[in-house]
Amino acid sequence: MKGVFKGIGLLVLMMVCSAFLLAGCSEEKSNTIKIGFNLPLTGDIPEVGEGSKNAAEMYLKDINDAGGLDVGGQKYMLEFVYMDNESKAESATNVALKLIDQENVVAIIGPNSSRQAVPAGGTCNENRVPMISPWSTNPSTTLNRPWVFRAAFLDPFQGPVAADFASKKFGAKTAGVIFDVSNDYSKGLAEIFKTSWEAKGLGPVVAFESHGTKDQDFSAQLTTVISAKPDFIFVPDNYNQVALIIQQARDLGYKGPFMGSDAWGTPDLIKLCGDDCYGNFFSTHYAAAGAKGATKEFIERYEEMYGATPADYAALTWDSIGMMIQAIQNAGTVESDTMAMRKAIREGLSNITSFDGITGSSKFDAQGDPIKCAVVVRISDKGEFVFEEAVCP
């Protein structure tokens, strides 16, 4: 009996040792380029993480099936490392550190939401690792951070787009706002919207109410908003909260329209919200219905592989990877030293002056922020996101 245990113990020891040896082997290989992904796979917005991961897997397959990425005449395989930031700000910085120190990635894509991208951007900038946030629209993500880039437009652009559209479409004079005070994205956009609405001089923002991330009952705030009788309500919130807010507002007798922001753009919004959401509008990065060219091709391939229409974050992740690849090719060589490679990629990124992606073409300003068009989308009676109009800077 004792012998058996000894045998098993030895076997386990051997397996552990060989695992270390194998790990050592893969360290030696220098013909792979390792890129980290900082994604919300669980927590408040799991759909966002999943969609981004799907798009990344598709890109990875394309490159590696073709024999790898051609940099300076040599082929390199890509390796993507996905880590879950639980949709939390503190976990996002932990994931960034883990990707940098343990996984030794040369660059990071993500986090998506500003709530995680703002702190994680700081971490990446301090550690001198290039980072692209696909979906973050808050200005602080890239502000004074030479190592941080993004693929989405900014809230100072999106806020006025929403304000202009609502005043034109609904003929609105007054606006109500309800937002998540503990979310950088929601709070920042609500404030920018308020400023740009009041700058238009039509009428005031009659109600400006906040709530917390974990709240499920918004009736007190909505009662205040509705009693101020706004012409429409602006809700720059995540899709899961939007579903509850709109339903509760209807229960409290509000019949007017809602205007949303790019965080609405998830197929899950329709699943959770149902027909309460139909007929409302939101500003976003692209409209899947009626797309053309490379965008259409991407959407069809994605639908074939995953059985769902890709949301804006999936398309933006695709574009972020494209930018990253272009930066690596701009760098011209692949350094075996990670630090040197990171520096080369940053140089490559800052040398991109314009980029034609599937979410439209963009130019980059000195801050690393793209200047690109926004799209306003209407939620149809079938729950589809239908193109309404494009607004360019």
**Which residues are near another protein by CB under 8 A?**
41-43, 46-47, 50, 181, 209-212, 214-217, 219-221, 223-224, 227, 240, 243-244, 247, 250-253, 268, 271-272, 274
CA distances 278 to 163, 256, 268, 275, Å, are 20, 12, 13, 5
In the complex, least distance from residue 388 CB atom to another protein, rounded to whole angstroms: 25
> Taking the mean position of all CA atoms in its chain, how far away is CA 297?
21
**Distance (Å, rounded) from C-alpha 116 to C-alpha 89?**
4
Q: Are 349 and 130 in contact (CB under 8 A)?
A: yes
Q: Minimum distance from CB of 165 to another protein (Å)? A: 27
* Cβ closest to another protein, residue 171 vs residue 274: 274
Interior/surface letters 183-206, b for 16+ CB within 10 angstroms, e for the rest = bbbbbbbbbbbbebbeeeeeeebb
Nearer to another protein, 262 or 268 (CB): 268
Instruction: Encode 79-97: b = buried (16+ Cβ within 10 Å), e = exposed.
Output: bbbbbbbbbbbebbbbbbb
Q: How far is the CB of 241 from another protein (least distance, A)?
A: 9
Closest CB to another protein among residues 128, 250: 250
196 contacts 177 by C-beta, under 8 angstroms: no
Cβ nearer to another protein, comparing 223 with 338? 223
Looking at the Cβ atoms of 240 and 283, the one nearer to another protein is: 240
> Residue 13: how many CB atoms within 10 A of its CB?
10
> Residue 209 forms beta bridges with which residues?
178
Largest CA distance in the chain: 87
Name which of 138 and 248 has its Cβ closer to another protein.
248
Separation CA 329–CA 238 (nearest Å) = 36
Between CA 155 and CA 267, with CA 311 as vertex, the angle to 5 degrees is 110
How far is Cα 203 from Cα 318, in angstroms, rounded to an integer?
40
> Which amino acid does the sequence have at 71?
V
Q: How far is the CB of 87 from another protein (least distance, A)?
A: 9
- CB of 137: closest distance to another protein in angstroms? 22
Structure tokens at 75: 């082929």
User: Minimal distance in Å, beta carbon 387 to another protein?
Assistant: 26
Least distance (Å) from another protein to the CB of residue 59? 23
CB of 198 to another protein, least distance (A): 19
Q: Quote the distance between the C-alpha of residue 374 and its chain's center.
A: 15
145 or 211: CB nearest another protein: 211
Number of Cβ atoms within 10 Å of the Cβ of 153: 25
Give the nearer residue to another protein in terms of CB position, either 32 or 224: 224
Least distance from another protein to the Cβ atom of residue 214, Å: 5
Nearer to another protein, 76 or 234 (CB): 234
Omega within 30 of 0 (cis) for the link into 310: no
Pick 61 or 250: Cβ nearer another protein:
250
Q: DSSP assignment, residue 264?
A: G
C-beta of 275: minimal distance to another protein in Å? Answer: 10
Distance CA 131, CA 236 (A): 25
